[in-house]
């Protein structure tokens, strides 16, 4: 597989990852409230903030899909994705260290860290592809 095809699939897989995570946590939080306890949290007074975050995650997935359709364009979406994924991972680690999150959330957050590193690699190497 050549690099252009690899990067195309990287962003499409990144989009699918965001969609699966966002949609699955929305539905799970609605239909299985016990999930909060499994992740070391209590059921929130409102799901608005969680669902708002998850909708943004889904929206970022749309951006990654758009990049995957033409990797020569929309590099601003890639930069925003890198920043958001690194910040999300950082927040996971901080709140784990504070004792507010279980390690499973940090493990899931580390997948975002890996995607951020791969997105950085794309930006560094993209000019070499042309």
Residues in the chain where the model's pLDDT stays below 50: none
The pTM (predicted TM-score) of the whole model is: 0.92
Please give the pLDDT value at position 34.
Answer: 92
Please give the pLDDT value at position 56.
Answer: 97
The number of C-alpha atoms within 13 Å of 73 and in the hemisphere containing its C-beta is: 5
Please give the pLDDT value at position 39.
Answer: 85
Residue with tokens 């507010």: 100
Question: How far is 2 from 88, CA to CA, in rounded Å?
Answer: 31
Question: How far is 76 from 67, CA to CA, in rounded Å?
Answer: 9
Please give the pLDDT value at position 1.
Answer: 84
């Amino acid at each position: 597989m050549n690099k252009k095809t690899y990067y195309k699939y990287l962003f499409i897989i990144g989009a699918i990852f965001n969609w699966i995570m966002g949609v699955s946590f929305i539905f799970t939080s609605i239909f299985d409230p016990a999930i909060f306890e499994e992740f070391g949290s209590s059921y929130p007074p409102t799901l608005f903030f969680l669902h708002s975050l998850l909708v943004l995650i889904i929206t970022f997935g749309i951006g990654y899909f758009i990049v995957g359709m033409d990797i020569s364009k929309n590099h601003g979406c890639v930069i925003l994705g890198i920043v958001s994924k690194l910040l999300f991972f950082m927040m996971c680690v901080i709140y784990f260290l504070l004792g507010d999150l279980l390690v499973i959330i940090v493990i899931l957050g580390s997948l975002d860290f890996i995607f951020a590193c791969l997105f950085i690699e794309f930006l560094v190497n993209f000019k070499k592809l042309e």
